[in-house]
Structure 1
Amino acid sequence: MKKFALVGRHLSHSYSPQIHKTIGEIYNLDLDYGLIDIEKDQLKEVIEKLKTGEYHGYNITMPYKMEVMQYLDVISDNAKRIGSINTVYYKDGLLHGDNTDYYGFKTMVESSKEAIENKNVYILGSGGAAKSAYVALLDLKANVTVVKLKNEVVDPMFKQVITYEELNKDLVDIYVNTTPVGMYPDLTHSVLDQSLVSGKIVYDVIYNPEVTQIMSYAKRAYGGTLMLFVQAFYSEQSYWQNKNIVFKEEYLEKLKASINE
């Protein structure tokens, strides 16, 4: 049996063990998937366990997605562009890092069948999830603007940045919420008022609840559940490179059932 884990802080409500266990069942993989809740000064030691074979791969979540990069030998091109890592594995004597959130978000957008090219897309938030969405949207040829808090300092990778006070609804085609506002248990809050969202398309990276408050305001809206599943499949493909692990729509119901048990 191969051992994998999610590494981060405050992980008790994570769906990752259920999702990866279900992927294991679908592809007949002999795996165990746990949670490693650690302090910053323990991160290097945990990553080193990949070299001994105690663990075969990790998913990395907040607050270590950027911190972990210094301990890796090989970083994928997408992870370099995004500036954060969510998947780590050991191969040919080297520690590898990738960002599969990129693929998860890109798949979520493409599967919606909404027109994206040349649309004015406004990303709400400027953290790690915003970076993945930003790079994916640029690759989909959208015009991307990041919306930040008034005194917030953002990564220079974001080329077009405004504050919430400067937001003009008439210029917006699509919103992407990458903030935690509206996430369980904060179900009744939205990062934007209904007046700014009405008539627009919304993508929300939040997956719990399936329909957030900001999504309920939109003309059409897409939640983060698909993104969550797809990024997990891409991680498993990194771990098991001798197998063809690919997300398929037919797996959706089984995956949803796994996180609703």
Structure 2
Amino acid sequence: MAVSCDIRGTTRLVGVIGDPVAHSRSPAMHNAAFRALGLDWCYVPLHVTGRNLEAALRGLVALEFVGANVTIPHKEQAAALCDSLTPAAESVGAVNTLTVQGGCLAGDNTDVGGLLLALAEARVELEGREALVLGAGGSARAAAYALAQSGARVTVANRTLARAEALVQALQGRVRGRLTAIPLADRAALEASLQQATLLVNTTSVGMEPRPDESPLPDDLPLPPGLTVLDLVYAPRQTRLLREAAARGCRTIEGLRVLVYQGALSFECWTGRAAPVEVMMHAAEA
């Protein structure tokens, strides 16, 4: 993806670390925001594999980056490599935002706030409601924390039940709402959870390019028409899950909304300036 910024000796650098990372819309939206505010900053995509993550994070410090975003699949591992964590990041056990401070890495989790802003924009009620979260990685941790802390009762469904149970155990006692875990392969449990839920959040990468025809749910699983479906996958914007949910009368929310809102919160962490959210949204949608 084109970075689209003029880099000189005075340019301050930030980026996004992930595997894969070529699909990311973050460089486009952040660089548009920097241009809009006249900042001599540049945001670059950084493809990093798991075995090179520690070296890459220490490289941010050595290269005098201001910070970086962290995306799939490194959010939990990156949290363990930070020198300090915000209370939200510590509770979630995953980071998506890094800031270099005095030669050290500080980790934050703006996925939590980004998700809640997108849901508030769509006027989704959480207090006392049932929510189903698909996945058990770093994004699932942030989603489950955000929803349960807002008073929702959250069920976490994952292919590997042990990972879902570990997520629930890690968050239980740190949040207001109840959390439970079920195996994603248990169709009866999944269907029962969906019938009770008012919100479904997909945090897995299933349905992301280059395999946009896949869905994280089993084929022909009934979705109640009153359900709101949020898919954190944003490439493509209209995933198979969202298309099928809309066809069944569900309300849908694109993952691009969450991406922009969490990015705006990261932008404010690094720059100390209010993010031009509309500029970022337009760049992400282009």
Give the TM-score normalised by the residue count of structure 1: 0.87
- How far is the alpha carbon of 1:232 from its aligned partner? 1.1
For structure 2, the residue ranges without an aligned partner over 5 or more in a row are 1-10, 169-178
Q: Distance in 2 between matches of 1:67 and 1:227?
A: 22
Task: Answer yes or no: is 1:163 the counterpart of 2:163.
Answer: no
User: Any idea what the Cα deviations from partners look like across 1:19-75, whole Å, max 9, x if unmatched?
Assistant: 110111222221111122234443333323444453111111223222223432210
Q: Is the 8 A contact 1:17 1:34 kept in 2?
A: yes
> AA paired with 2:259?
L
Unaligned runs of 5+ residues in structure 1 are: none
Match of 1:128 among 128, 138, 141: 138
The equivalent residue for 2:236 is: 209
**Equivalent of 1:146 in 137, 156, 181:** 156
CA distance in structure 2 between the partners assigned to 1:160 and 1:194 by the alignment: 24
1:6/1:238 Cα in 2 relative to 1: closer, same or farther (>3 Å)? same
- Greater alpha carbon shift after TM alignment, 112-121 vs 161-170: 161-170
Match in the other structure for 1:188: 213
Matched to 1:5, the amino acid is G
Q: What is the rounded CA distance, in whole Å, between the counterparts of 2:285 and 2:118 in structure 1?
A: 20
Runs of 4+ in 1 over 4 A off after TM superposition: none
What percentage of residue pairs aligned between the two structures are identical?
A: 26
Residue 94 to residue 228, structure 1, CA distance change in 2 (3 Å): same
Equivalent position to 2:25, from 15, 33, 40: 15
- Please say if 1:46 is aligned against 2:56: yes
Q: Which residue of 1 aligns with 2:261?
A: 230
- Alignment-derived partner of residue 95 in structure 2: 85
Q: Which amino acid aligns with 2:143?
A: A
Task: Tell me how far apart the structure 2 counterparts of residues 72 and 154 of structure 1 sit (CA, whole Å).
Answer: 24
1:61-107 superposed Cα distances (whole Å, 9 cap, x missing partner):
22322222343221001101111111111224532110111111111
| Distance in 2 (alpha carbons) for counterparts of 1:256 and 1:247 | 9
Relative to structure 1, the CA distance from residue 3 to residue 170 in structure 2 (aligned partners, 3 Å threshold; closer, same or farther) is: closer
Report how many residues are paired: 255
Partner in structure 1 of residue 68 of structure 2? 58
SS in 1 for 2:99: strand
Aligned positions of 1:68-107 closer than 5 A? 68-107=78-117
Contact kept, 8 Å, 1:3 with 1:56, in 2: the verdict is yes
Which amino acid is 2:270 matched to? Y
* CA–CA distance in structure 1, aligned partners of residues 79 and 195 of structure 2: 40
For the pair 1:2 / 2:28, whether they are aligned, the reply is no
CA distance in 1, matches of 2:80, 2:87: 15
Q: Residues 53 and 68 from structure 1, CA distance in 2 versus in 1: closer, same or farther, beyond 3 angstroms?
A: same
